């Protein structure tokens, strides 16, 4: 649940946000034609894109290119608070800020990743700490200050140890990447994501995704993914020393009870009995 939200707008668009949330929480966001810098001041988070999954901790940050994303805040209700700063990087606003003199790093390139981890940086944490004053005194914030803050953020990103990769990501800002169903399914078959989430990552409606999936795999998405996860679980039960709950987690099941129920329905025995009989 989001318990606090502050935002600064520039030229009619939300530019900088500060969010405080409590777990558990799942947030789906679509960035149609923008990049996004996210700094996690407190708490850990898992971010899914069509191509990958990233886990981020306090003091770390991500750069996201345009696309669909799902964020998960783990934990039990009331256990902790998560504080997140979000910077929306719109092409049209960058053009205004740079007076149509777009820097070299905002030209198209062939970057394939959706998410880039900038990691922990004293430079970036100092920049974020400096923003608290403006969130406490919002009346001091104007368009000129916001434009300067975006310029400052871009310059600081270019000075981090990941400067080369950051430059590549910014250069890919105007080139959305779209993955086909097969690549999306392959990337997330062992993630605890719904069929609706996979449809979103494929840029399809749920009904279109199901029809296309059946044409490709001659099966429903739910059944195909369930069988593949159980097949992987059977391998892990035989060759690994992982516990049943660890195997359930690694194969994309939300909890051990659900995993055991599905496993028994397909294999006609419990995971423990299967392990014993195949050792």
Residue 35 has pLDDT above 90, yes or no: no
Within this chain, do residues 121 and 9 fall inside the same structural domain, yes or no? yes
Residue 161 has pLDDT above 70, yes or no: no
Residue 198 has pLDDT above 90, yes or no: yes
* Mean pLDDT computed over 188-203: 92
Of 171, 199, 230, the residue that ends a domain is: 171
Of 148, 171, 194, the residue that ends a domain is: 171
* Mean pLDDT computed over 41-63: 87
DSSP letters along the chain, please?
Answer: -EEEEEEEEETTEEEEEEEEE-SSEEEEEEESS-EEEEEEEES-EEEE-SS-EEEE-TTEEEEE-SEEEEEEE-S-TTS--EEEEEEEE-HHHHHHHTTT---GGGS------SEEE----HHHHHHHHHHHHHHH-GGG--HHHHHHHHHHHHHHHHHSTTHHHHHHHHHTTT------HHHHHHHHTTSS--HHHHHHHTT--HHHHHHHHHHHHSS-HHHHHHHHHHHHHHHHHHH----HHHHHHHTT-SSHHHHHHHHHHHHSS-HHHHHHHT-
Return the pLDDT at 87: 95
Of all residues in the chain, the percent with pLDDT exceeding 90 is 55
Within this chain, do residues 108 and 164 fall inside the same structural domain, yes or no? yes
Within this chain, do residues 167 and 187 fall inside the same structural domain, yes or no? no
Within this chain, do residues 23 and 147 fall inside the same structural domain, yes or no? yes
Return the pLDDT at 114: 79
Return the pLDDT at 26: 86
Asked if residue 176 is part of any domain, the answer here is: no
Within this chain, do residues 262 and 207 fall inside the same structural domain, yes or no? yes
Within this chain, do residues 74 and 201 fall inside the same structural domain, yes or no? no
Within this chain, do residues 82 and 202 fall inside the same structural domain, yes or no? no
Q: Which pLDDT band, with edges at 50, 70 and 90, does 162 fall under?
A: low
Looking at the structure of the chain, the number of domains it has is 2
pLDDT one-digit tens code per residue, 102-139: 555 455 545 557 777 777 778 899 999 999 999 999 99
Within this chain, do residues 117 and 158 fall inside the same structural domain, yes or no? yes
Within this chain, do residues 240 and 164 fall inside the same structural domain, yes or no? no
* Mean pLDDT computed over 164-192: 73
Return the pLDDT at 171: 63
Residue 44 has pLDDT above 80, yes or no: no
Asked if residue 56 is part of any domain, the answer here is: yes
Kindly report the pTM of this predicted structure: 0.78
Return the pLDDT at 252: 92
Within this chain, do residues 20 and 44 fall inside the same structural domain, yes or no? yes
Asked if residue 235 is part of any domain, the answer here is: yes
Q: Which pLDDT band, with edges at 50, 70 and 90, does 101 fall under?
A: low
Domain containing residue 113: CATH number: 2.60.120.810
pLDDT one-digit tens code per residue, 234-262: 999 999 999 999 999 999 998 899 999 99
Which range scores top for mean pLDDT: 14-18, 41-45, 94-98, 177-181? Answer: 14-18
Task: Give the residue numbers spanning the domain of 264.
Answer: 181-277
Return the pLDDT at 102: 56
Within this chain, do residues 154 and 251 fall inside the same structural domain, yes or no? no
Of 118, 143, 171, the residue that ends a domain is: 171
What is the rounded average pLDDT for all residues in the chain? 86
């Amino acid at each position: 649940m989001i318990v606090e939200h502050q935002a600064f707008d520039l030229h009619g668009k939300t530019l900088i946000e500060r969010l405080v949330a409590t777990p558990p929480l799942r947030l789906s966001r679509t960035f149609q034609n923008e990049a996004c810098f996210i700094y996690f001041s407190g708490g850990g988070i898992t971010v899914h894109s069509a191509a990958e999954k990233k886990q981020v901790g306090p003091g770390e940050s991500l750069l996201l290119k345009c696309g669909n994303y799902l964020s998960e805040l783990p934990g039990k209700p009331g256990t902790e608070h998560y504080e997140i700063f979000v910077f929306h990087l719109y092409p049209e606003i960058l053009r205004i800020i740079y007076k149509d003199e777009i820097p070299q790093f905002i030209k198209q390139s062939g970057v394939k990743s959706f998410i880039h981890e900038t990691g922990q940086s004293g430079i970036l944490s100092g920049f974020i700490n400096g923003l608290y004053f403006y969130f406490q005194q919002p009346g001091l914030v104007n368009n000129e200050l916001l434009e300067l803050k975006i310029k400052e953020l871009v310059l600081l990103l270019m000075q981090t140890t990941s400067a080369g990769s950051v430059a590549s990501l910014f250069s890919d800002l105007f080139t959305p990447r779209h993955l086909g169903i097969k690549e999306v399914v392959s990337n997330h078959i062992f993630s605890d994501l719904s069929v609706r989430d996979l449809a979103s990552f494929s840029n399809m409606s749920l009904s279109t995704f199901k029809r296309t999936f059946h044409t490709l795999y001659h099966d429903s998405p739910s059944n195909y993914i369930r069988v593949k996860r159980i097949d992987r679980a059977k391998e892990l039960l035989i060759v690994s020393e992982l516990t049943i709950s660890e195997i359930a987690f690694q194969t994309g099941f939300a909890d051990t009870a659900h995993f055991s129920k599905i496993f028994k329905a397909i294999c006609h025995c419990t995971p423990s009995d299967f392990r014993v009989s195949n050792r």
